[in-house]
């Protein structure tokens, strides 16, 4: 069995690769369809909506990294989650954690609900789940750590409930990537990834994955992608393949930088709260230490005022004010108007996502340069110094 760093680069069994040319960088099979050698004879490929060799290669790598029997690559994380919801039927119920990626909340409450799937949203770190389980309940869905408040949810504890009631346990593992956390090994049945983030890692493509552990589920997902058609394109599959090769060193470096930034932010009087699970005072620190191999490189912080949050967004130079995360470039986001713009105000308030909260996706630049950038962004405006504001 290869170690994770090796699995990012090589398939466990080279013989399962469809490419026999010996190419070290897997070829991009830029083709829509595949010719048959004759009646009743096939190369194993028919049409790229169903499968394409480059997509298949990235799927095998991701399945190997998560310890699943199959991974299916979609054109984005949301395409993957939307396809996953097709395994449910009208009348089914899905219990979800309330602190979710804003796009997932939008999908569940506007599209899944319209399609007759009842979504029950709970606070998994506080509410008991069992009282909400009915005969119609089919699955439990959450992210850990959550976005953007970085709550850590106990995968094994929830998997005991899902197993007791024969529900599917679905975990969105985007924030830690398979390098740091493997939910399937902790009792989850399905893992979701926005491959746009750490897996591809260079802010240059969108991608999504559904990784499954049971053959019946894998078969259903294969049927859905063939039928609804949001598969990852050959070139984008190649970009993700290339990105994953450096996943291990990117994750380590980004995490190291996140620790530096968390410490620096903590030392600043303008910062009222630093939420990074790597910090010992973080409520989920011990749990994350048990269920994952690292703390990741996402950190959220709260500043003294909305005006100060805006000042930082206007002033950062190296750190870019942009949505998304998990790339080599450090990005800062303002969840209230960006990732979580469509989340109802009551839900935002309950989660503590205020207009003073900023989220940093720490990249792999030199930490000193990142801190200097924040430092210059923190210097008060002239008007503020001279009292004209």
Ligand X SMILES: *Cc1c(COP(=O)(O)O)cnc(C)c1O
Of 93, 172, 189, 236, the one binding ligand X (CB under 6 A) is: 172
Token readout for 295 is 């703390």
E strands, 91-222, are 93-97, 118-122, 137-143, 168-172, 190-194, 208-212
Using rule CB under 6 A, residue 105 touches ligand X? no
Residue 350 preceded by cis peptide, ω within 30: no
Nearer Cβ to ligand X, position 188 or 271? 188
E strands, the chain, are 70-74, 93-97, 118-122, 137-143, 168-172, 190-194, 208-212, 271-275, 298-303, 320-321, 331-333, 357-361
Q: Which residues, numbered 111-130, are part of the site for ligand X (CB under 6 A)?
A: none
Using rule CB under 6 A, residue 174 touches ligand X? yes
Q: How far is the CB of 28 from ligand X (least distance, A)?
A: 20
Using rule CB under 6 A, residue 208 touches ligand X? yes
123 is catalytic: no
Nearest-angstrom CA–CA distance, 128 and 308:
38
Nearer Cβ to ligand X, position 275 or 377? 275
CA distances from 98 to 76, 102, 149, 225 (A): 22, 10, 11, 27
If 0-12 CB within 10 Å is exposed, 13-18 middle and 19+ buried, where does residue 274 land? buried
Nearer Cβ to ligand X, position 88 or 142? 142
Using rule CB under 6 A, residue 196 touches ligand X? yes
Q: Single out the segment in contact with ligand X by CB under 6 A; choices: 12-20, 152-160, 172-180, 368-376.
A: 172-180
Nearer Cβ to ligand X, position 187 or 335? 335
Nearer Cβ to ligand X, position 76 or 311? 76
Q: Single out the segment in contact with ligand X by CB under 6 A; choices: 20-28, 100-108, 262-270, 303-311.
A: 100-108
Nearer Cβ to ligand X, position 104 or 257? 104
317 is catalytic: no
Give the pairing of strands 208-212 and 70-74: antiparallel
Nearer Cβ to ligand X, position 45 or 141? 141
Using rule CB under 6 A, residue 145 touches ligand X? no
Nearest-angstrom CA–CA distance, 126 and 153:
10
49 is catalytic: yes
Using rule CB under 6 A, residue 351 touches ligand X? no
Cα–Cα nearest to 8, from 194, 245, 288, 258: 245
Strand partners, 118: 93
Nearest-angstrom CA–CA distance, 100 and 337:
15
- Active-site residue, from 46, 49, 157, 381: 49
- Active-site residue, from 197, 250, 253, 356: 197
- Closest CB to ligand X: residue number: 77
Q: Single out the segment in contact with ligand X by CB under 6 A; choices: 63-71, 98-106, 304-312, 367-375.
A: 98-106
Nearest-angstrom CA–CA distance, 241 and 9:
8
Q: How far is the CB of 15 from ligand X (least distance, A)?
A: 32
Residue 145 preceded by cis peptide, ω within 30: yes
114 is catalytic: no
Q: Single out the segment in contact with ligand X by CB under 6 A; choices: 101-109, 113-121, 248-256, 340-348.
A: 101-109
Q: For 135-164, b where at least 16 C-beta lie within 10 A, e where not — what string?
A: eebbbbbbbbbbbbbbbbbbbeebbebbee
Query: x-or-dash pattern for ligand X, window 54-93, by CB under 6 A?
Result: ----------------------xxx---------------
Nearest-angstrom CA–CA distance, 101 and 129:
20
- Active-site residue, from 29, 97, 99, 101: 101
**Catalytic residue numbers, as ranges:** 49, 101, 172, 197
By the criterion CB under 6 A, which residues form the site for ligand X? 76-78, 101, 103-104, 143, 147, 172, 174-175, 194, 196-197, 206, 208
């Amino acid at each position: 069995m290869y170690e994770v760093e090796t699995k990012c680069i090589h398939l466990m069994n080279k013989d399962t690769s469809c490419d026999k040319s010996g190419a070290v960088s897997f070829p991009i099979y830029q083709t829509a369809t595949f010719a048959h050698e004759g009646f009743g004879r096939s190369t194993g490929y028919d049409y790229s909506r169903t499968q394409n060799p480059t997509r298949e290669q990235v799927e095998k790598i991701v399945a190997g990294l998560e310890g699943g029997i199959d991974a299916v690559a979609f054109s984005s994380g949301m395409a993957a989650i939307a396809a996953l919801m097709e395994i449910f039927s009208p009348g089914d119920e899905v219990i979800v954690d309330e602190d979710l990626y804003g796009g997932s909340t939008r999908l569940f409450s506007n599209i899944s609900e319209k399609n007759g799937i009842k979504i029950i949203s709970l606070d998994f770190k506080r509410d008991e789940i069992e009282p909400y389980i009915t005969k119609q309940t089919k699955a439990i869905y959450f992210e850990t750590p959550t976005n953007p408040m970085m709550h850590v949810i106990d995968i094994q504890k929830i998997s005991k409930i899902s197993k007791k009631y024969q529900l599917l346990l679905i975990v969105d593992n985007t924030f830690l990537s398979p390098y740091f956390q493997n939910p399937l090994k902790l009792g989850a049945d399905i893992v979701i990834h926005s491959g746009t983030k750490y897996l591809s890692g260079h802010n240059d493509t969108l991608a999504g994955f559904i990784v499954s552990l049971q053959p019946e589920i894998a078969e259903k997902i294969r049927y859905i992608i063939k039928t609804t058609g949001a598969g990852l394109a050959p070139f984008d599959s190649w970009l993700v393949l290339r990105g994953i090769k450096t996943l291990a060193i990117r994750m380590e470096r980004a995490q190291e930088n996140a620790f530096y930034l968390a410490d620096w932010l903590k030392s600043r009087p303008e910062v009222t709260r630093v939420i990074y699970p790597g910090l010992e005072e973080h409520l989920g620190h011990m749990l994350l230490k048990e269920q994952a191999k690292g703390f990741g490189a996402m950190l959220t912080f709260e500043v003294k005022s909305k005006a100060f949050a805006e000042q930082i967004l206007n002033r950062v130079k190296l750190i870019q004010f942009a949505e998304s995360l998990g790339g080599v470039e450090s990005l800062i986001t303002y969840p209230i108007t960006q990732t979580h713009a469509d989340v109802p105000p009551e839900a935002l308030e309950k989660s503590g996502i205020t207009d003073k909260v900023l989220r940093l996706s720490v990249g792999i630049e030199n930490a000193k340069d990142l801190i200097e950038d924040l430092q210059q962004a923190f210097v008060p405006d002239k008007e503020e110094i001279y009292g004209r504001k």
